[in-house]
Structure 1
Amino acid sequence: MLNVFEHYASLHEIPELGFQEFKTSAYISRHLKAAGFSVEDNFNATTGIVALLESGQPGPTLALRADMDALGHIINGEPCARHTCGHDAHSSVVLSAAQELIAEGAVKRGRLKLIFQPAEELGTGALAMIAGGAIDDVDMILGFHLRPAEECAVGTAIPAVRYSACVTLEATIRGLTAHAARPHLGINALDAAVSAVQAVNAVHLAPGKSWSAKATRFLCDAGVTNSIPDEARVVFDLRAGENEEMTQLQERVERAIKMSVAASGATAEVMLLKAMPAAEINEEMTALIAESIGEVLGEAALMPARATPGSEDFFHYAVQRPAVKSGFWGLGTGLTPGLHHPEMRFDLNSLPIGVKIFKTCVVKVLG
């Protein structure tokens, strides 16, 4: 049986983008089957994996979820996939915990389910697993994420990380082309797009809430420099600490875009590219995780729960299936210079700690 370091070394070398994790899922599936799990590959016609361990005794069904996909980067002018969000570490930790639990006969009641999920970065991987019925029979689900060095040190952990909702919108703004010498005959899509950005910057929610809305991509090119452009595309990133605020923010941003471009005679079509909900975390699961962290690392290593403006598609599980009790925790890893940075690094010695915390959680529920 390989240890967590060996799994990580193997998975780190085969980064794959969302719904293209063919080598990654094959590797994980092979080791789960060898350990004795019942494994369903290509779950819901994706690269996802669902594995099951039946104890044969009555009890709850507890799921552990790990994401598998890497991020797409452009490095030295070349597109590539790279594990800069730690999903290779997440899969390695859950895989190692699963192997050790079955080898030790630690699951004595109920069922342990493992969900290795594709496409977290796309925001649609969890939805695909839910649509396939992955958590229809699940009572509780736990997930985790490596945390940056500024949030918690190696040897510490956070029992609840409350992620924000994130919505990505793309506005396609259309005007009317004309010669630059006769701009009055056209409708400048570039000008209209600039107005849309300014209008979004003027959107406000209550200052006591956590939210932001900003343009993150602007594309406009008529192909020549002496022609009025008739089309521009702008991408907006929206964040909100609560799902209710996100609904309000999205409505206001879409209205601001459409009304601002209409002032110059342009039109805007707003498309939703990605949406991930804010955290919905069960307090009972947070207490379970906190107790497990304390047992593994000591009470001094138990950090307080914290909020983050980052987003995680894990929370689709709780939002889509509110009867399922969900918990999501953070592992101190000394991660620098930051998540999604092309040169992201962390202390590998944190990985066995993650394995122990997950194992302790499982034993408390199913042992």
Structure 2
Amino acid sequence: MTTQPLSSELQHIFNYLHANPEKSWHEFGTTQYIASYIKAMGLEPITFNDLTGLYVDIGSGSPVVGLRTDIDALWQEVDGVLQANHSCGHDGHMTMALGALKALQTKHQPEHGTIRVLFQPAEEKGTGALAFVEKGIVDTIDYLYGVHVRPVQELKNGQHSPALYHGAARLITGVIHGVEAHGARPHLGKNAIEIGTDLAIGLRTIHIDPMIPTSIKLTSFHAGGDAANVIPGKATFSIDLRSQTNEGIDEAMAQLKTIIEGVEHKYHATIHYQIDANIAAAEVSEEAKSFMQQAIIETVGAENLAPPVVTPGGEDFHFYTLKRPQIKATMLGLGCDLQPGLHHPNMTFNTNQLQQGVEILTRTVLNTFAAIQKEVFVK
């Protein structure tokens, strides 16, 4: 396979987006830049007064085939400085979405139906897709496609996958409220460390179907101060819960709730907790996956078609199918020599592969419309 270099126009788009990252829910400049580019194409982007992001349609009526990209960057420390940083590849995702939009607009407008391209904010917060669902943006969508650059540990450069099976995740923070007391009078207190120890032991008793990869662990615990003779009455903690399926994480979450209630009852203490991030597992449509698989073969050949990727990482793209089950969806996994890994502050990847991504996404949309039209003709 020969890799096509990124066109000068797409390279310019990528360079701008890469140099101007914005953190979740603050993608104001990114939204404006994308909207201006779309207007220059002669299309009418739809923006919002109360949130960042936008979408645009080509054509009208049904069926509706959608493309979605995320537009936010991570907020992380880079060379000792906290800043927005595109270390998850969203700059590349936006570039591919704009490239596919232009290809579809200039060469492949559907005779009947709508192409809808979503530029979604706040993927890194796990809340952007839910905001778009609440706006009703995806209510009429029949097929929805996404894309994510993949690390070399999953896909080799130029190897592309027609589906990403992300796992579900719950990131939980909480506070244990015991009773502070003098170290000489432990019977008058309720030691938050002892309560937390029982909670940690309880996590190890959570068991679900062993065929569903699942993990739960304390990732932070803080209690007590400098005084060694004071029994701490308060502690804070964090829990990372992951499962490969939505059913698995629901079962694990139910068991966690029972354990917390049991610890509260045992110590007559109170444990307040909240879910800070809630990520759904992938629900991949076999039909949508087949259209993307065909597009990969048409673009780079069968020898560069990789099997679906199963990863414990999360993606809020999958809230679309969880909240609107009628949507048939899948995500393209783009093999692009991404090193050393996603979310690494100095992550890099081969931008030439973005051109292949544009072609695959464009062909996937065309394959979908062709299959729908064939089905209508047969009927």
In the alignment, structure 1 residue 23 sits paired with structure 2 residue 29: yes
2:272 equivalent in structure 1: 269
The yes-or-no answer on 1:50 pairing with 2:55 is yes
CA 1:11/1:221 → structure 2, altered by over 3 Å: closer, same or farther? farther
Q: CA 1:95 to 1:2, structure 2 compared with 1: closer, same or farther past 3 Å? A: farther
Which of 38, 44, 47 in structure 2 is aligned with 1:38? 44
CA deviation string 1:162-218 (max 9, x = no partner): 111111122211111123343332212123223212221332222222111111222
State the match for 1:118 in structure 2. 121
Q: Do the aligned partners of 1:60 and 1:110 also contact (CA within 8 Å) in 2? A: yes
Comparing 215-224 and 130-139, the one that deviates more:
215-224
CA deviation string 1:28-72 (max 9, x = no partner): 1111111122211127x2102011111x6x651111000011112
Specify whether residues 302 and 266 from structure 1 end up closer, same or farther in structure 2 by C-alpha distance, changes over 3 A only: same
* Identity of matched residues, %: 34
- Which of residues 1, 8, 18 in structure 2 aligns to 1:12? 18
Structure 1 counterpart of 2:162, which letter? P
> SS state of the match for residue 45, structure 2?
strand
1:218 has 2:221 as partner: yes
Report the Cα offset of residue 270 of structure 1: 2.2
> Are residues 322 and 225 of structure 1, via their aligned partners in 2, closer, same or farther at CA, if it must alter by over 3 Å?
same
Tell me the TM-score normalised to structure 2 length: 0.91
Unaligned runs of 5+ in 1: none
Give 1:222 deviation, angstroms: 4.1
1:28/1:361 Cα in 2 relative to 1: closer, same or farther (>3 Å)?
A: same
Output the CA distance in 2 between the equivalents of 1:273 and 1:264.
26
Contact 2:150 2:335 in 1 (8 A): yes
Q: Which moved more, 1:10-19 or 1:294-303?
A: 10-19
Q: In terms of mean alpha carbon deviation, does 15-24 or 259-268 score higher? A: 259-268
Q: 104, 113, 137: which one pairs with 1:101? A: 104
Q: Any unmatched runs of 5+ in structure 2?
A: 1-6, 371-379
- Partner residue in 1 for 2:298: 295
TM-score (norm 1): 0.93
Distance 1:92 1:178, change over 3 A: same
1:329 aligns with 2:329: no
CA deviation vs aligned residue, 1:86-119 (integer Å, no higher than 9, x gap): 1111111101111222123443331110110011
Q: Is the 8 A contact 2:77 2:345 kept in 1?
A: no
| 1:174-193 equivalence runs, <5 A | 174-193=177-196
Kindly state the Cα deviation for residue 284 of structure 1 after the two structures are TM-superposed: 0.7
Q: Hey, which bits of structure 1, 4+ residues long, moved more than 6 A?
A: none
What is the count of residue pairs matched by the alignment?
Answer: 364
Kindly provide the amino acid, as one letter, of the partner of residue 143 in structure 1.
G
RMSD over aligned Cα atoms: 1.9
The aligned counterpart of 1:357 is 360
Q: Which moved more, 1:285-294 or 1:169-178?
A: 169-178
Question: Counterparts of 2:338 and 2:102 in 1: how far apart (Å)?
Answer: 26
